[in-house]
Structure 1
Amino acid sequence: MDENQQQRPLDYFKIPANAISTSYFFNIHISHWIEAVIFIFLTDKLIWHINFVPRVKWIIISVLTISLGFIFLRGIKGRTLTEAIIYAIIGIKKRKEYHLGGINNDRKAADMAEFAGQSGAEQLATFIKQKLRFLEKRYGQEPTDENNT
């Protein structure tokens, strides 16, 4: 063994040079810490202005601070909570609505006109009847016992 290693106490641990230069604090990204501190501070400030007894305020603040802190530090799939919310809103705005009618909108309009004034159950029954008629035309009648024997 090396002479330096023998003289070190047992609880000695050399901190690597890049430990402080990373963007993590307690193995959690700095952006998560900043977001958690800002939102916890804003929430506590809002709760403090509610007209409650100070003891109740402190209880509410402590419970919310711990839970919000955990949620904001944890994040969603490695992203901060605000990033996740922004991307969810963008995804909802970009979402397209697809129909069974395909590209031809005339077919869709004709299908919707056929269902006008019907309840959900009636629409379902009409749709099933249409599909059965289509399948009967395409594949013929369903075999009966006479045809099977």
Structure 2
Amino acid sequence: MNMARILTLAALLVALATPATGGAGMDAGSVVLGRWAVTGTADAQETTSLSSDDVDKLVGANFVVTPESVQFADEKCDKPVFKLTRHSTAGFFRREYRLDPRNMRLPDPVTEVAIVCLAPSPISFVYVRDKRHIVFFWRGFFLNAEKLGEKGLPRKVH
């Protein structure tokens, strides 16, 4: 077998071994599991269900993701199903949300974790900035959040 065929076969085997979720062997929900604290607003759609002042009051609020539920503000998503996908950041946000994502400081491509709840919920999408920072979509706003440690404090950077 020549080298080109070996490399093609190797690439095919890697592609077949990678789950359709794009998580390279990782459960989609595990990317966002944990307790997160809202640090501010990353951006907003043109029309939202809350005022900017109301959203500013959410700074410090916890966004909690477990395999059994997702909780934020006074809302709870029971029995969530997580679906991980990757998108070209600029094109995706312009197409889906009609906004320029530059202010959100997301990587390109961006990892999206869609959250489907047992009952309809405004808790729906999380965009991963890095292991310690996410942006989640809630009621027309994109909220920045930082992962908290076991004691409820931001995790230390090593």
TM-score (norm 2): 0.19
Q: Which has the higher strand share?
A: 2
Q: Which has the higher helix share?
A: 1
Higher radius of gyration, 1 or 2? 1
Highest relative contact order (Cα 8 Å, sep 6+), 1 or 2?
Answer: 2
TM-score (norm 1): 0.20
